[in-house]
Amino acid sequence: MKTIIKIIASLVLIAAICVCASITGAVILNSPPEDMPKQTFFKVDKGDTAREIGQNLEEDKLIKSSKFFLVYVKLKKTSAQMKTGLYKIDYGQSMVGIHDILIQGSEELFNVTIPPGHTSREIAKILEEKEIVNAEDFVEAVKLQHAEGFLFPDTYNFPKGYPAEKVVKYMTENFHNYVKSIYSDYDKLEQETIKEKVVLASIVEREYRVAEEAPIIASTFYNRIEHNMYLGSCATVVYIITEVQGKAHPERLFYRDLEVESPYNTYKHKGLPPGPICNPGRIAINASFNPAETDYLYFLLEDPDTGQHKFSKNWAEHNKSYNLYIKGR
């Protein structure tokens, strides 16, 4: 009898120790990591599973154990309640606290729309006005990530004070996702080819006025490159004046403007300029990656009111159009 009592007592003691150990372990795993960032933001993407969210939290040093996070989520039955969005996580926040933040989806986000055709400097100004980022920090982040041209114009939701490098990363990821949706072989392209198409898209963005003409304009530029001709894009000269020289946007260009020395001057240097002249939108990107099939080598503005262009296959046709539509005005 005494032996049985001793065995029972031992089992109770072991169980108590296990419970205490489990509680202690849970308390430790619930506490924030020692190297947790002072303040950071965490993004939950649409379709992220609880397992993926836990792994991302652990990688960002916001929780100690993704496995413990997943166990807690399963016990609470909240795996389907995680809300997509960007969340500010303060230093010292416990794992349970972070879990509750993601469940509540209470982070205050601010709507900001980035129009097509803006440079990183212009985008930075928009973001700073919304108190999302510091403009200088954003421009610097764009330079570090070589992201000019890849800042996808769209409507975004960001919290105030969001890190500039993360804003840039989010916008460029949006760019890549869009191009993959319109160009199935995007992942097979070399980086230099992608850059060339983005540079051309940035020029098309500044040249087209009627959406239906964008693929034709892209085709015309590709044809000129193939024929070893100057692109002759006025948009690149305007870029030099406004972005390189820092002057106001000109109402019109003069012949002296076309003579300015710059690698971006496509009247003096053949091929594409060294980088994008803006961040193109959907229409221009689609035109560059999926141009029309034409024999056109020239185009000029036919109707300033409608924005329509006249396209020509040779110099004689183009000169005739010039005399009709430009000199005739």
How confident is the prediction along the chain (329 residues), in pLDDT tens digits per residue? 555 654 554 444 444 444 444 555 567 888 888 889 877 788 888 889 999 999 999 999 999 999 999 999 999 999 899 888 878 888 889 999 899 989 887 666 788 999 999 999 999 999 999 999 999 999 999 999 999 999 999 999 888 888 899 999 999 999 999 999 999 999 999 999 999 999 999 999 999 999 999 999 999 999 999 999 999 999 999 999 999 999 999 988 898 999 999 999 999 999 999 999 999 999 999 999 999 999 999 999 888 889 999 999 999 888 887 676 565 55
DSSP label of 108: -
Identify which of 107, 102, 52 has the alpha carbon closest to the alpha carbon of residue 78: 102
Cβ distance 229 to 270 under 8 Å?
A: yes
CA distances from 10 to 4, 14, 24, 156, 304 (A): 10, 6, 21, 61, 93
Task: Write the CB contacts of 288 (distance below 8 Å, at least 6 apart in sequence).
Answer: 197, 198, 200, 201, 204, 218, 280
Distance CA 296, CA 227 (A): 11
Distance CA 93, CA 39 (A): 10
Cβ distance 313 to 296 under 8 Å?
A: yes
pLDDT for res 14: 47
Task: Write the CB contacts of 209 (distance below 8 Å, at least 6 apart in sequence).
Answer: 301, 306, 307, 308, 309
Amino acid at 252: R
Q: How many helices (H) and strands (E) does the chain have?
A: 12, 6
Cβ distance 277 to 202 under 8 Å?
A: yes
* Helix, strand, or coil (residue 329): coil
pLDDT for res 151: 98
Task: Write the CB contacts of 67 (distance below 8 Å, at least 6 apart in sequence).
Answer: 54
Q: Strands 298-303 and 308-312: what pairing? A: antiparallel
Q: Considering the entire predicted model, what is its pTM? A: 0.73
Q: Give me the residues paired with residue 111 across strands.
A: 157
Count of C-beta atoms within a 10 Å radius of residue 134: 15
What are the structural domains of the chain? 31-107 (3.30.1490.480), 110-182 (3.30.1490.480), 188-296 (no CATH)
- Tokens 């400097």 map to which residue? 121
Q: Which helix (H) or strand (E) holds 272?
A: none
For residue 98, what are its two tokens?
């972070």
Q: Which residues of 136-149 are buried (b: 16+ CB within 10 A; e: fewer)?
A: ebbbbbbeebebbb
Task: Write the CB contacts of 65 (distance below 8 Å, at least 6 apart in sequence).
Answer: 29, 58
